[in-house]
Amino acid sequence: MRVERLELLGFRSYRDATVDFAPRFTAVLGENGQGKTNLLEAIGYLSRLSSFRGAPPSAMVAASQVASADQPRQAVIRGQLRDGRREVLVEAELPIEGRPRVLVNRQPLRRRADLLKSFQVSVFMPDDLELVKEGPALRRSYLDEILVSARPSMAAVVAEVDKILRQRNVLLKQVGRRLSSETTLTLDVWDERLDAAGSRLAEHRVELLAQLQPYVIEAYDKVASRSESVTLRYLSSWREMGLADALRASRDDDVRRQVSLVGPHRDDMEVRLAGMDSRHQASQGEQRSLAFALRLAAHRFVTDEIGVAPVLLLDDIFSELDPGRSAALLGALPEAQVILTSATPLPKGADPELVLEVHDGSVTAAG
C-alpha cells in the first residue's frame, strides 16, 4: 500500500498544496508548528476517516476557509493511492458542519471496510506512551483497531457494540433510576444484543492477544535491544460468568448509576514486562520502548494477516529517544512505505529517498 500524491485544499494550515511521496522512504522536515503533523493527519484520514489526533472535522477546516465568505466552508483531502497494481483515488470533503463525504474512484464510499481493503496506515507518535501508561480506553482501541485492520468486517461488530452501549446508556439516563415494566422489557432487548455483540468482540480480542504476543516479544527485542519476557493478558470482570448473567447481576447498579458498568467497554489489556506490570512498574524508557513495540507488532501482524504492509506514518518519533534507541528503531522498521516527520536533523543511518521541507503550510522537495 502506498500514497503517491496528496492534494490538500483548505486543510488546516494548507490552503492549496500538492505533495508527492517516494515509494519507500520520505522524510518531512520543518520547525515546530509548520504543518508536518497536519500532513500525516491528512494521509491518516484517508484510511481511518477520522483524525489520529482525535480532532473533529471542524478543527481540520482551514481557518481562512471558515473566515472567508466566498470560500466553501470545507476542507478537501485527495489522495492518489496504490495497492499493488491498482490505483485508487480517495477524495474526502470535510464540511465545517454536517457529515464528511468520501468518494473512492469517484463513487461514494458505502462502508469504511471497503476502504480498508485498499488503504491502511499505522501511526506512531510520542503520545503512544499513553498506550502503556494511561487508563484502559487506549488499549481497547488499540486492540479494536488491529481487529478492524486485519479483518475489515470487524468494523461492523465494533460499531454495533458502540451503538448498543450508547443507546443503553441513553435509556438508563431516561428511566431516572426507576424501571417500569415497559422499560424493563426495552432494557432486556438491549442486554440481549449487547450480550451477542459484546461477547463476540471480547472473544476476538482474546484470540488476538494470543496471536499478537510473539510479535510484541520480537518487536521489543529489536527496539530495546534486549530480550525480555512480555506477556499480554485480557482483563475482564465478566467473561467467566458470561455477559448475559453479568448484565443481569449488574442491572440494579446500572439503573442506580445510570450507566453500563459491565461489558467489553470496561475491559483492559495488561502488559507485563519481565513479570512486572508495565503500567505501574516499568521505567519511562521501558514504557516508551514497549509502546513502540506494541505499534510495531501491530503493523507486522496486520501485514501478515492481509498480505500487504500498511503505510507507516511516524510522527516525530526521534524527539524522545537517545541516538542508540533511534538507531535501533530505524533498524527495526519493516518493509513498507515510510513517511516520517522530524523537527530536528535525522539521526545517523536514516537514508530517505526524498526529503520534504515544510514551511508555513507549503511543502518543497529539498535539493
Ligand X SMILES: Nc1ncnc2c1ncn2[C@@H]1O[C@H](COP(=O)(O)OP(=O)(O)OP(=O)(O)O)[C@@H](O)[C@H]1O
- In the set 25, 316, 339, 340, which binds ligand X (CB under 6 A)? 316
Site size for ligand X (CB under 6 A): 17
Decide: is 34 part of the binding site for Mg ion (CB under 5 A): no
- How many Å apart are CA 228 and CA 231, to the nearest integer? 10
Decide: is 343 part of the binding site for ligand X (CB under 6 A): yes
Stretch that binds ligand X, among 28-36, 172-180, 239-247, 283-291 (CB under 6 A): 28-36
- How many Å apart are CA 234 and CA 246, to the nearest integer? 17
Decide: is 354 part of the binding site for ligand X (CB under 6 A): no
Output 36 or 205, the one with its CB closest to ligand X: 36
Stretch that binds Mg ion, among 36-44, 125-133, 154-162, 195-203 (CB under 5 A): 36-44
Which of Mg ion, ligand X, none interacts with 199 (beta carbon under 5 to 8 A by kind)? none
Tell the smallest beta-carbon distance from residue 251 to ligand X (Å).
Answer: 45
Which of ligand X, Mg ion, none interacts with 352 (beta carbon under 5 to 8 A by kind)? none
Tell the smallest beta-carbon distance from residue 198 to Mg ion (Å).
Answer: 36
Decide: is 216 part of the binding site for ligand X (CB under 6 A): no
Q: Which amino acid is at 70?
A: D
- How many Å apart are CA 10 and CA 134, to the nearest integer? 34
Tell the smallest beta-carbon distance from residue 102 to ligand X (Å).
Answer: 19
Decide: is 37 part of the binding site for Mg ion (CB under 5 A): yes
Decide: is 74 part of the binding site for ligand X (CB under 6 A): no
- CA end-to-end distance (rounded Å), the chain: 26
Which parts of this chain interact with Mg ion (CB under 5 A)?
36-37
Binding site for ligand X (CB under 6 A): 12-13, 30, 32-38, 59-63, 316, 343
